[in-house]
Amino acid sequence: MKFPKNLAAKLETRKQNNALRKLSLPNNLIDFASNDYIGFSKNQAIFEETHQYLIDNNSIQNGATGSRLLSGNHKVYQEAETFIAKFHQSESALIFNSGYDANVGFFGSVPLKGDLILYDELCHASIRDGIQLSNAKAYKYQHNDFEDLEKLIQRCHIERVIPSAVEGRDASTNEVYIVTESVFSMDGDTPNLEELTQLSGKYNCHLVIDEAHSLGVFGKNGEGLVQMLGLQDKVFARIMTFGKGLGCHGAAIVGSEELKEYLVNFARSFIYTTGLSPHSVGAILMAYQHLKTDKNTVNKLRENIIHFNQVQHLLGLKPMFVKSKSAIQSAIIPGNQNVKSIAKQIQEKGFDVRAILSPTVPEGQERLRFCIHSFNSKEEISEVLGLLSTFVF
């Protein structure tokens, strides 16, 4: 069948820009690419305990059989959501099939017409896609710049109040949602959440924080950055994603009981999809239980992040890296061809380090993205950074 010319042209443009994406098979290289920060995806104990848990609870089925509002709300969901809510010191938790589904479901249903969404310019694509489904107006603010955010809040307040006064409406009935991430997926940096919660409270806004790359990394038990700072009661909603630190699949939105009830009724990505299988939800529960009890892996990850930053400094590489205290460390190497070439040279030496190309990141901000894990040795970290130093200097 003939392929549409306009689609073929878009593919050709990607090829010409050296930016064509392709699926790659798993390799045996030393992992500095995956989001499996504390190694839970290959944790044999979690695998075996999930299997035994399902047998003990007589949950011997391969699928959910339907949406959660019909036949798919199996009993593993209730236990998992109760555990997650308690772990995150929240009234409730609602599991979605993925972080993407959670963000699309939340932003597509919660902010209503007349509301405002103010989001960090580097927020993830899933947040942006959810915002596009919303009837609320949305404006972006400069990355981690809360002076710019406050000016935007004040400007938007004036724009809302004057027309409402003319029309005889009450602008105070419209809500403002501030959206950010606790760890940004491409830069690995973090916002000043204490300052942000103060600003949100000052203007009576609802704060929404995506903790996808924070879970398993920050906090005494890997609870995430919000809880590490004791700010959970000042955040309207947190999106906890399980495909990174927990090494499994799915996500949960944690917040009030009212928020959960609302999402069950209005979040389309929750309502109109088949639920996760008992095995998938069981794996989430077992991973959370391990996160609560296994502090060694989280501590080892923190030690490796510190070591990575120290070696950067010793090798004179620090200026090329985005400042980060998270498991994501990005070295800016402009140009798709240039960064792909260096990534290939490092891979040929046995290390899986991936190039992030434009348009995934802005042109001129192409980078090598290093993901640090609890299972990386200090020798591996020193060696891979030594290779980078050799290839860029």
Q: What is the pLDDT of residue 157?
A: 76
Residue 71 identity (one-letter amino acid):
S
pLDDT tens-digit readout, 105-114: 999 999 999 9
C-alpha closest to that of 176 among 212, 139, 209, 132: 139
- Residues 180 and 129: their CA atoms lie apart, in Å, by 14
Helix (H, G, I), strand (E, B) or coil at 102: helix
Residue 231 identity (one-letter amino acid):
L
- Residues 124 and 324: their CA atoms lie apart, in Å, by 17
**Do residues 186 and 213 make contact, with C-beta atoms less than 8 angstroms apart?**
no
- Taking all residues of the chain, what is their mean pLDDT, rounded to a whole number? 94
**Partners of 30 in the β-ladder:** 351
What's the rounded mean pLDDT across residues 134-150? 96
pLDDT tens-digit readout, 290-326: 999 988 999 999 999 999 999 999 999 999 999 999 9
C-alpha closest to that of 183 among 157, 206, 216: 216
More confident residue, 95 or 158: 95
Percent of the chain clearing pLDDT 70 (strictly above): 96
- Residues 183 and 339: their CA atoms lie apart, in Å, by 23
**Which helix (H) or strand (E) segment is 210 a member of?**
strand 206-210
- Residue recorded with tokens 């848990």: 53
Angle among Cα 325, 328, 330 to the nearest 5 degrees reads: 100
Q: What is the pLDDT of residue 170?
A: 52
What's the rounded mean pLDDT across residues 249-259? 98
Residue 241, pLDDT > 60, answer yes
Q: What is the pLDDT of residue 26?
A: 86
Residue 67, pLDDT > 80, answer yes
Burial of 44 (0-12, 13-18, 19+ CB in 10 A): exposed
Strand-strand pairing, 367-371 and 354-356: antiparallel
C-alpha closest to that of 27 among 349, 370, 350, 295: 350
Phi/psi of residue 235, nearest 5 degrees? -115, 130
Q: What is the pLDDT of residue 128?
A: 97
Helix (H, G, I), strand (E, B) or coil at 261: helix
Roughly how many angstroms between the first and final C-alpha of the chain, as a whole number?
50
pLDDT tens-digit readout, 163-206: 444 454 455 568 999 999 999 999 999 999 999 999 999 999 99
What's the rounded mean pLDDT across residues 23-43? 94
Number of H helices and E strands in the chain, helices first, is: 14, 12
Q: What is the pLDDT of residue 89?
A: 98
Q: What is the pLDDT of residue 160?
A: 60
pTM metric for this prediction: 0.93
Q: What is the pLDDT of residue 384?
A: 98
C-alpha closest to that of 370 among 314, 302, 337, 321: 321
Quick one: residue 222, left, alpha or beta (phi over 0 = left, psi -120 to 50 = alpha)?
left
* pLDDT band at 393; cut points 50, 70, 90: confident
The set of residues, in sequence order, having a beta carbon less than 8 Å from that of 27 and lying 6+ positions away, is 352
